[in-house]
């Protein structure tokens, strides 16, 4: 799986923080579609659109920028392991910003989630 091959790919999203948005045991994972990939392969950021928006403190979040939680490229981790822990930063509203990967986040909804591919490339 190349970094660009993630475009339009469906991922499963399981939120662990903040705890009030985390799924209860037995709940189905939310689904997200990769809407854009960063050109900076080392940072490996993704723009995700979730199937069911999150409402947090009176703001609706449907779009998220995702990065690897610890180190490395999110795309590489998904390719090698089929899952990765990620930081997600909510983009308020429904419009994709002109540069969704700009380092603009200064508050709002930040989450920790596990992302996983819904199918393996070799299947």
Predicted confidence (pLDDT) per residue in 71-115, tens digit: 788 878 888 888 999 999 999 888 887 777 776 656 679 999 999
Identify which has the larger pLDDT, 3 or 26: 26
The average pLDDT across 23-41 equals 82
| Angle at the Cα of 71 from the Cα atoms of 80 and 78, rounded to 5 degrees | 25
Query: Nearest to residue 34, comparing CAs of 14, 64, 59?
Result: 64
Average pLDDT, the chain: 83
Q: Is residue 123 part of a domain?
A: no
Identify which has the larger pLDDT, 40 or 57: 57
Q: Is residue 10 part of a domain?
A: yes
Q: Is residue 122 part of a domain?
A: no
Does position 1 have pLDDT exceeding 60, yes or no?
Answer: no
Residue 84 tokens read as: 């990765």
Cα distance between the two ends of the chain: 12
Sign of CA dihedral 69, 72, 73, 77: negative
Q: Is residue 87 part of a domain?
A: yes
% of the chain with per-residue pLDDT over 90: 44
Domain count, the chain: 1
Containing structural domain, residue 87? 4-117
């Amino acid at each position: 799986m190349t970094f660009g091959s993630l475009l339009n790919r469906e991922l499963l999203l399981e939120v662990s923080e903040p705890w009030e948005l985390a799924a209860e045991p037995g709940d189905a994972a939310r689904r997200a579609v990769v809407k854009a990939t960063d050109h900076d392969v080392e940072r490996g950021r993704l723009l995700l659109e979730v199937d069911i928006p999150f409402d947090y403190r009176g703001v609706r979040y449907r779009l998220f920028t995702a990065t690897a939680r610890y180190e490395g490229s999110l795309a590489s981790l998904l390719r090698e392991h089929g899952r990765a822990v990620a930081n997600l930063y909510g983009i308020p509203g429904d419009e994709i910003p002109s540069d969704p990967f700009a380092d603009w986040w200064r508050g709002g909804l930040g989450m920790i989630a596990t992302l996983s591919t819904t199918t393996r490339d070799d299947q």
